[in-house]
Amino acid sequence: MCATCGCGDDEARVTTLDEPHDHGHGHSHDHPHSRAGDVRTHTLDLEVAVLAKNDELAGANRRWLAERGITALNLMSSPGAGKTTLLERTIAELGRPVSVIEGDQETLFDAERIRRAGARAVQVNTGAGCHLDAAMVARALESLQPEAGGLLVVENVGNLVCPALFDLGERRKVVVISVTEGDDKPLKYPHMFAAADLVVLNKTDLLPYVDFDPDRLAADARAVNPAVRVLPVSARTGDNLGAWFDWLHAQTLDS
């Protein structure tokens, strides 16, 4: 039971997909409203305990990855921001081994796309769950066995709230936002942007057709996280993906 958002992970399951042959390489959202006489301290204590246990498991994941020289990213966004498309281009063009843990409530769609792109992938289906946690990632790592010295990307469940709260053992947190979502997201979802090491502004090829101010997005992101970098790209056209690849290459364990 996750007291932070009222969800549980009992339904989570990990599915391993066959590796490509041509490359060497229980969460119901019942957020009850407070009523007079409610005892709130028990809920708070449970939330702290859940997050503390998650952080302990995340630390174990981080050590496991470091021992193998694997750089791990937690890739987060709302649904439809283009995370999977960005990963497909990254797998094809980065020039470095990439493994992927895919998080979705149901289906194997995204993991199958990643496998076809040429990377090793496992799918974590969370059932009603709205985020991955460190225990799910630990189980996925056992199944995936990512290549030593490579890049591991955890594509989290599409959600701009809960994933920001859960350390998975990653090296960096990346938030992907698309221009079709509106430029007000950093102030509406400040915890997500405060946690980010990088904000990828995707679908910039659509800027002429939408009401979106990139300068406002960048200013608001830095208002909640002064150190964050905002990187505009188009995963569909490839515009500025070179800067994304350069950033990925710079994320080594000794940096």
Instruction: Give the integer Cα–Cα distance in Å for 75 and 162.
Output: 13
Identify whether 25 is part of a domain: no
Instruction: Give the integer Cα–Cα distance in Å for 137 and 102.
Output: 10
Residue span of the structural domain in which 84 resides: 13-18+40-250
Identify whether 241 is part of a domain: yes
When divided into structural domains, the chain yields a total of 1
Identify whether 230 is part of a domain: yes
**Tokens linked to 145:** 């066995």
The pLDDT value recorded for residue 3 is: 54
Mean pLDDT (10-residue bins), the chain, 255 residues? 56 72 46 46 62 95 97 97 98 96 95 96 94 97 96 97 96 98 98 98 98 98 98 98 97 67
Identify whether 168 is part of a domain: yes
Identify whether 67 is part of a domain: yes
Burial class of residue 246 (count of CB atoms within 10 Å of its CB; 0-12, 13-18, 19+): exposed
The pLDDT value recorded for residue 11 is: 61
Give the CATH number of the domain where residue 202 resides.
3.40.50.300
Identify whether 174 is part of a domain: yes
Identify whether 160 is part of a domain: yes
For the chain, the DSSP string reads: -BTTTTB--TT-EEEEPPPPSS---------PPP-TT---HHHHHHHHHHHHHHHHHHHHHHHHHHHTT-EEEEEEESTTSSHHHHHHHHHHHS-S-EEEEEEESS-SHHHHHHHHHT-EEEEEE-TT-SS--HHHHHHHHHHH-PPTTSEEEEE--S-SSGGGG---S-SEEEEEEEGGG-TTHHHHSHHHHHH-SEEEEE-GGGGGGS---HHHHHHHHHHH-TT-EEEE--TTT-TTHHHHHHHHHH--TT-
- Considering the entire predicted model, what is its pTM? 0.84
Identify whether 212 is part of a domain: yes
